[in-house]
Amino acid sequence: MLTDEERDKIEEELRNYPSRRAGCVEALRVVQEHRGWVADEHIVDLAPMLGMTVHELDEIATFYPFIFRKPVGRHVIFVCDGLACWVMGLDAVIEALTHWLDVSWGGTTKDGRFTLLPVACLGECDRAPALKIDNDVYGGVSAETIETILEKYT
């Protein structure tokens, strides 16, 4: 069940949108900010607040890769799965990441530190291959630089 604090914050954010439905992604983001992810029960709680059906809100929540529908690690690594990144050597970056973290796509490290997720183009094609960790975007990533980047996140 959503807390009063979450409901208040959602109501505050919804005032910035022309309709309650239009603010649905922001409402999902608020829940995720408080809980780390958005569970089915939160979709059920949230949908009537937004004037939406549970099915409608669930479709939106599962469409956006930055809304997590399962628990994730303390840091989420979004690896660009776009063409430019593949052309520029993404396969070596993925190999280094999966080796270093000992996880596959969608997986979370045993210590709960990282979750590894693919994402569509990050808009950094001129610096491919690219990845995003939490809110930080890195371009020109290579198998040689990945360990140094990951060491910044504890």
Q: Could you list the residues that contact ligand FES (CB under 6 A)? A: 80, 82-85, 121-125, 128, 130
Cβ atoms < 10 Å from Cβ of 128: 22
| 113 vs 127 by CB, closer to ligand FES | 127
- In angstroms, the first-to-last Cα distance of the chain is 30
What is the closest distance, in whole angstroms, from the C-beta atom of residue 93 to ligand FES in the complex? 11
Q: How far is the CB of 89 from ligand FES (least distance, A)?
A: 11
Closer Cβ to ligand FES, 116 or 122, answer by number: 122
Of the candidates 4, 2, 30, the one whose C-alpha atom is nearest the C-alpha of residue 15 is: 30
The residue (of 23 and 82) whose beta carbon lies closer to ligand FES is: 82
Q: What's the min distance (Å) between Cβ of 78 and ligand FES?
A: 10
Listed residue (47, 66, 69) closest to 57, CA to CA:
47
Q: For residues 127 and 104, give the distance between their C-alpha atoms in angstroms, rounded to a whole number.
A: 24
